[in-house]
Amino acid sequence: MCGATTGGVSLEGVDVTKESVIQGVVTRGEQPVGNAYVRLLDRTGEFTAEVPTSVTGQFRFFAAPGEWTLRTLAPRADVVDRRVVAQQGSIAEVNVSI
* Residues at the contact surface with other proteins, assessed by CB under 8 A: 14-15, 18-19, 35, 37, 39-40, 42, 44, 46-52, 55, 60-64, 71, 73-76, 79
Q: Which DSSP string do the residues of 6-27 spell out, in sequence order?
A: TTB---TTS-GGG-EEEEEEEE
Q: Is the Cβ–Cβ distance between 38 and 54 less than 8 Å? A: no
* Shorter beta-carbon distance to other proteins: residue 35 or 97: 35
Least separation, in Å, of the C-beta of 22 and other proteins?
8
* Shorter beta-carbon distance to other proteins: residue 4 or 79: 79
